[in-house]
Amino acid sequence: MKKVFSLLAAAGLGLSLSMVTLADRNQEIADRIAPAGKSCLEGESCAAAPVAAVASGPRTGEQVYSTKCFTCHATGAAGAPKLGDVAAWAPRIAQGTDALYTNAIKGLNGMPAKGLCMDCSDDEIKAAVDHMVTASK
């Protein structure tokens, strides 16, 4: 009889222990899936909003170059003037910045319009051109 009782006690203890760990895990999961920034209601001042605006702002010329333009301009693929190749860039730079911008945005022979960055704004393309020109003088 005593043996049965201690068995029951052990089982009960085990059960309550596992319930405690279950509760801990539930809290852990709740913490993990909680939104990183709380949503803000209209009229509330919301500290998270400016951060989001910065994250979706225009890309720098270097970012556009190193994600979109480098595929051709790092290797010289399709006859593209390579980044840093001063001799290849000199006659192009001599046309003037506006011509470079226009050719980059509209395309020129093997140079596709916007360098295939269809979601780039004109300003982002211009920034990428500036980045390439600066690195190739």
Window 76-105: contact mask with ligand HEC (x via CB under 6 A):
-xxxxx----------x--x---xx--xx-
Residue 112 in the binding site for ligand HEC (CB under 6 A): yes
Q: Restricting to residues 50-79, name those near ligand HEC by CB under 6 A.
A: 64, 68-69, 71-73, 77-79
Is the CB of 46 or the CB of 62 nearer to ligand HEC?
A: 62
Could you tell me the smallest distance in angstroms from the CB atom of residue 119 to ligand HEC? 11
Question: What is the torsional sign of CA 35, 38, 42, 47?
Answer: negative
Q: Does 13 bind ligand HEC (CB under 6 A)?
A: no
Contacts of the segment 100-105: beta carbons below 8 A, 24+ positions apart: 100/129, 100/133, 101/125, 101/126, 101/129, 104/128, 104/129
